[in-house]
Amino acid sequence: MTHEEMLEWVLDHPEIMVRKQARPRKETELWVICDTSVGLETLATGATYQEAIESATSVLKAKEEARAKVCSVQSL
């Protein structure tokens, strides 16, 4: 699923977006949620935006750490 498709899905489901709290304060928060399927899946369960952001951020952080390890091994 592309970023555009994820954004469209989130925007097409306002009941999820407003279920527990207001819409994201910044568009970047929405992109963080959409950057991983985990963020969208978390929202789909009825979680708050903060929970979705935390889930997505942890996945992104783990990916970045894995990428850094691969780069450090390749440079040896």
Bigger pLDDT: 9 vs 25: 9
- In this prediction, residue 35 carries a pLDDT of 66
The number of domains in the chain is 1
Rounded Cα distance between 51 and 70, Å, is: 29
Alpha-carbon distances of 51 from 8, 40, 54, 66, rounded to whole Å: 20, 11, 5, 23
For the entire predicted model, the pTM comes to 0.50
Domain boundaries, position 67:
3-74
Dump pLDDT digits (tens) for 17-47: 544 444 555 656 666 676 667 777 877 777 7
Place of tokens 């954004």: 7
